[in-house]
């Protein structure tokens, strides 16, 4: 289902992750708030057992605020710390550091009992491609960041960013592979734009999106495209094509163009703040 990932890459990514995880106290996992389930890879739970865990619900600006809340509660109930974030604008970024400290309080306490003082918390950012890992690292590190040099026991070239005197962050994120064996996961990754469009059937994808929007966010399509919503996704795509003047040679409607418009506007949040999946009951 996915075409950016090959077994060789995955093996290498996993091996690097295993190496890096040994060095850290805390895993900061970035997920896309529109698809918090589909943008995760559960392998990280196995790789990161015994580590403190923080989930960043990123791109929360594009997702449904009520669903953001539900997802935050859901992950908290599973034992993760959670912060809602817009890494791009920086909204929510100030809230990350206190939660990082809180999530590592047991480690800090252990250190204190053993007489170890001032050993910083070490963290790494992980996530599947395109969830905003690099954007977050830049926003979190900010301008004040100083890169520390190589340290003994650290693979050459590995850099730690000093966030403050208590926290250090590995400068490169760990890349997780998406769960591309699952069809519906693949479709959602495609809808948010995390799979290259060239390899997708955009018309089919837009029909799925139309169907979902009508079912879960009734009215948003009428509002944006002035169309009559119904269970008939093809008819909705047709109306979008008409209203947006998607016409090809011979005066035929250009469905592909309409599909592109829909997907693009969805990805940019123009259709509304929309979450594509809900936490399990």
Give the contact letters, 14-53, x = binds to ligand GDP (CB under 6 A), - = no: ----------------------------------------
**63 vs 104: CA distance, rounded Å:** 28
Report if residue 2 touches ligand GDP, rule: CB under 6 A. Answer: no
Which of 131, 167, 191, 202 binds ligand GDP (CB under 6 A)? It is 131
Report if residue 126 touches ligand GDP, rule: CB under 6 A. Answer: no
Which of 37, 38, 48, 61 binds ligand GDP (CB under 6 A)? It is 61
Report if residue 178 touches ligand GDP, rule: CB under 6 A. Answer: no
Sole window of 128-136, 149-157, 217-225, 273-281 interacting with ligand GDP (rule: CB under 6 A): 128-136
Give least dist CB 131 to ligand GDP, A: 5
- Annotated binding-site residue numbers: 58-61, 130-135, 174
Alpha-carbon torsion (79, 98, 48, 90), positive or negative: positive
The pair of three-digit structure tokens given for residue 94, joined into one six-digit string: 């100030």
Which of 133, 179, 214, 273 binds ligand GDP (CB under 6 A)? It is 133
Question: What is the dihedral angle through the alpha carbons of 72, 77, 82, 86, rounded to the nearest 10 degrees?
Answer: -10
Which of 59, 84, 188, 273 binds ligand GDP (CB under 6 A)? It is 59
**21 vs 232: CA distance, rounded Å:** 48
As beta bridge partners, residue 9 has none
Q: Give the 3-state secondary structure of 193-247.
A: CCCCHHHCCHHHHHHHHHHHHHHHCCCHHHHHHCCCCCCCHHHHHHHHHHHCCCE
Give the contact letters, 70-89, x = binds to ligand GDP (CB under 6 A), - = no: ---------------xxxx-
Report if residue 58 touches ligand GDP, rule: CB under 6 A. Answer: yes
Name the one residue in this structure whose structure tokens are 């990082």: 100
Give least dist CB 192 to ligand GDP, A: 9
Give least dist CB 111 to ligand GDP, A: 31
Strands 252-253 and 247-248: antiparallel
**208 vs 218: CA distance, rounded Å:** 14
The pair of three-digit structure tokens given for residue 20, joined into one six-digit string: 């890096």
Residues of this chain that bind ligand GDP (CB under 6 A): 58-59, 61-62, 85-88, 127, 129-135
């Amino acid at each position: 289902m996915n075409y950016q990932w090959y077994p060789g890459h995955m093996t290498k990514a996993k091996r690097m992750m295993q190496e890096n995880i040994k060095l850290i106290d805390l895993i900061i996992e970035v997920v896309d708030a529109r698809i918090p389930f589909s943008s995760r890879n559960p392998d990280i739970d196995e790789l990161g057992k015994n580590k403190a865990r923080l989930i960043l619900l990123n791109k929360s600006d594009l997702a449904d605020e009520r669903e953001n809340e539900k997802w935050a509660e859901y992950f908290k109930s599973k034992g993760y710390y959670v912060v809602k974030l817009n890494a791009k604008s920086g909204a929510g970024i100030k809230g990350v550091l206190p939660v990082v400290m809180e999530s590592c309080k047991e480690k800090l306490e252990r250190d204190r009992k053993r007489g170890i003082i001032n050993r910083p918390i070490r963290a790494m950012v992980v996530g599947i491609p395109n969830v905003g890992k690099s954007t977050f690292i830049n926003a979190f590190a900010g301008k004040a960041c100083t890169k520390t040099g190589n340290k003994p026991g650290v693979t050459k070239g590995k850099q730690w960013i000093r966030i403050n005197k208590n926290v250090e962050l590995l400068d490169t994120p760990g890349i997780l592979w998406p769960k591309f064996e699952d069809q519906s996961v693949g479709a959602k990754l495609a809808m948010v734009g995390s799979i290259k469009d060239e390899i997708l059937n955009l018309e089919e994808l837009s029909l799925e999106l139309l169907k979902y929007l009508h079912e879960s966010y009734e009215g948003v399509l009428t509002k944006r495209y002035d169309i009559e919503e119904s269970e008939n996704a093809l008819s909705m795509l047709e109306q979008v094509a008409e209203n947006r003047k998607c016409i090809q040679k011979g005066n035929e409607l250009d469905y592909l163009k309409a599909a592109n418009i829909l997907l693009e506007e969805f990805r940019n949040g123009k259709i509304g703040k929309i979450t594509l999946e809900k936490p399990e009951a």
